[in-house]
Amino acid sequence: MSRRTGLDERPTNYGDPAFARYLRRSFAKSMGYSGRMLDRPIVGIATSASGFNNCHRLTPELTEAVTRGVLGAGGLPLEFPTISLGEVFLSPTSFVFRNLMAMDVEEMIRAQPMGAVVLVGGCDKTVPAQLMGAISAGVPAIQLVVGPMMTGRYRGERLGACTDCRRFWARYRSGEVSEPEIAAVEDTLAVTAGTCAVMGTASTMACLAEALGMSLAGSAAVPAVHADRLRIAEATGAEAVRLSTAGTPPDSIVTGRSIDNALRVLLAVGGSTNAVIHLAAIAGRVGLSLDLRRLNDLSDSTPVLVDLKPTGQHYMEDFHAAGGVGAVLHELRPLLNLECRSVTGQTLEERLRDRPSFVDRAVIRSFDEPFQRTGGLLALFGNLAPNGAILKRSAADARFFEHEGRAVVFTSLEDLAARIDDPALDVRPDDVLVLQNAGPIGAGMPEAGYLPIPSTLARAGVKDMVRVSDARMSGTAFGTVILHVSPECAVGGPLGLVRPGDRIRVSVKERRLDVLLTDRELESRRSALVRPPLPSRGYAQLYVRSVLGAELGCDFDFLRRP
């Protein structure tokens, strides 16, 4: 029997496939499609727009362009919604819903008849969720990111969400910026549709999707409002029709070698710490583990090439104009696995055959004259982080790379909020701020790892301190912030055993993070721990029961490929 294709794929189960086909076509015809249209290959368009998602505001226009591309290439485009994760609108944090979205994407791709799917999204957790879901669904897929925002202006100064949001907020907290000024800045930080204007998590994941080969060459950095974004959407639609015929599954594109390429790009663009978690989760969907020691090896041999906020000074629109991911790949060429193929079938070697005609070296440096000699991210290990922790060294203060300090401990997010600005807080600039119980199970792993400088110190001019937590940090943030400490406090991780006044030692040279306590002392403190109760119901309970550690991407244990 020939394979069912188009609308006939994955029939509803009535125990009578012919009836299912007849019924499905009848109902599809109620939408006005001709029989000839319904015989075409179907391309699903997974969208994720919502009134709670500013980044995806132009999704309808993008979808229209994808539709144009699919129709022009002889396919039938059928849009379908999945949940939408607007970064700043979700509580406790969008991160806990990434796996829910990945499940939604996977199940809706698998359940509905489509030969290929275009994944339209961009805001932080969306691209990882879409890639994770599509890989597990096993249907040919192509990513289309919505593109970054343009910058705004405040009194002649260029501003972009969200590195400048944080910079101004820190200045407001230290008293440098007044109440009316911060209100005026609020109007100018995010001025167009699209994802954050710097190399935050969304931009990083867009670059990684292109580096993995899951989106079209040259598509990652084109601004959301640029006409090229629509042309890319149209081309993506056309490519999806070809993919539906070729039947190329995502796990033939996302492989150990393409993940290695993506890690190189992550390091070279000074990308977000969150991307390490997302890439680990994506790797898990093809049955691989992301080795954090391998990240360190790559970090030592991959320079930061891109001078972009939060690491440098430029914005995503500059990165696009400077040459984008293609220019970065050209510089990294000797380090890349060139045999990797993208969704178009083109190998990386074929893509990089011709050098770009123009690269703005103020934004994308050459391999020989990089922005920073070594990669932006490092994994640290030690008795405080047996399974690893992450430091974005490109955004950290090198004064703290070899540092020992007294622990100032906050036992929860609530404790942090209550005491960080207390004038009576006993804290000095060389102390180490520790936030406990903010990991995946403890608190949904919010972007709280960028602990504010206590206001008594901020007002005295202190700009950075060593901060350690099992939380995450926004990709747009900066500072000497050690994150993703694993195992997390809520499962008895050693970070939860630290007490005020303990000495903590950081060594970037040795890749270590330790508390200066004996194993015996740690064990005796651990035996006194009381585990928090499980949430009583619903997704929160599923999450706490099933979420894995940061080193495994915080995916659910039952969603990783064995």
9 burial type by CB count under 10 A (0-12 exposed, 13-18 middle, 19+ buried): middle
**What's the token pair of residue 53?**
């998602």
- 245 CB burial (10 A radius; 0-12, 13-18, 19+): middle
Query: Which CB sits closer to ligand FES, 87 or 470?
Result: 87
Rule CB under 6 A: say whether 90 interacts with ligand FES: no
Task: State the Cα–Cα distance between residues 99 and 102, nearest whole angstrom.
Answer: 5
CA-wise closest residue to 149 among 157, 139, 160: 160
Which backbone phi and psi does 493 adopt, to 5 degrees?
A: -60, 150
182 binds ligand FES (CB under 6 A): no
Q: Does residue number 318 form part of the binding site for ligand FES (CB under 6 A)?
A: no
Q: Site for ligand FES (CB under 6 A): which residue of 59, 67, 151, 195?
A: 195
Q: What are the residue ranges of helices labelled H in 404-503?
A: 413-419, 440-443, 455-458
- Report, in Å, the least distance between residue 276 CB and ligand FES: 17
CA distance 157 to 307: 18
Least CB distance to ligand FES at residue 223 (A):
13
Backbone angles phi, psi at 468, to 5 degrees: -130, 135
The residue behind tokens 């194993």 is 519
Instruction: Mark 385-395 as b/e (b = at least 16 C-beta within 10 Å).
Output: bebbbbbbbbb
Helix (H) or strand (E) holding 206: helix 201-212
Q: How far is the CB of 476 from ligand FES (least distance, A)?
A: 7
Task: Give bridge partners of residue 118 from the DSSP assignment.
Answer: 45, 142
Smallest gap, in angstroms, from Cβ of residue 200 to ligand FES? 6
Rank residues 197 and 468 by Cβ distance to ligand FES and give the closer one. 197
Min dist. Cβ of residue 162 to ligand FES (A): 6
* 132-161 binders of ligand FES (CB under 6 A): none
Q: Which one of residues 42, 46, 49, 55 is an interface residue with ligand FES (CB under 6 A)?
A: 55
Name the one range near ligand FES by CB under 6 A: 193-201, 219-227, 254-262, 490-498.
193-201
Q: Cβ closer to ligand FES: 101 or 202?
A: 202
Give the span between the Cα atoms of 278 and 290, in whole angstroms.
10
* Residues sharing a CB contact under 8 Å with residue 461, sequence separation 6 or more, in sequence order: 174
Q: Does 191 bind ligand FES (CB under 6 A)?
A: no
**Under the criterion CB under 6 A, does residue 114 sit at the interface with ligand FES?**
no
Task: Work out whether 88 is an interface residue with ligand FES (CB under 6 A).
Answer: yes
Nearer Cβ to ligand FES (272/372): 272
Segment near ligand FES (CB under 6 A); pick from 192-200, 216-224, 240-248, 445-453: 192-200
According to the binding rule CB under 6 A, does residue 196 interact with ligand FES? yes
Q: Give the nearer residue to ligand FES in terms of CB position, either 148 or 442.
A: 148
Residue type, 395: A
Closer of 38 and 88 to ligand FES (Cβ): 88
> In whole angstroms, how close is the CB of 303 to ligand FES at the nearest point?
26
Rounded to a whole number of angstroms, the minimum distance from the CB of residue 266 to ligand FES is 17
Three-point CA angle 146, 278, 238, nearest 5°: 35
Smallest gap from Cβ 539 to ligand FES, in A, equals: 22
The answer to whether 275 and 131 have CB atoms below 8 angstroms apart is no
Closer CB to ligand FES, residue 129 or residue 504?
129
Residue 140 is classified by DSSP as -
Residue type, 391: L
548 is a contact residue toward ligand FES (CB under 6 A) = no
Q: Where are the beta strands (DSSP E) in 326-431?
A: 377-382, 385-392, 402-410
Q: Which of residues 118-137 bind ligand FES (CB under 6 A)?
A: 123-124
DSSP letter, residue 217: T
Closest CB 514 distance from ligand FES, rounded Å: 34
**Residue 202 contacts ligand FES per CB under 6 A:** yes
Site for ligand FES, rule CB under 6 A: 55, 87-88, 123-124, 162, 195-196, 200, 202
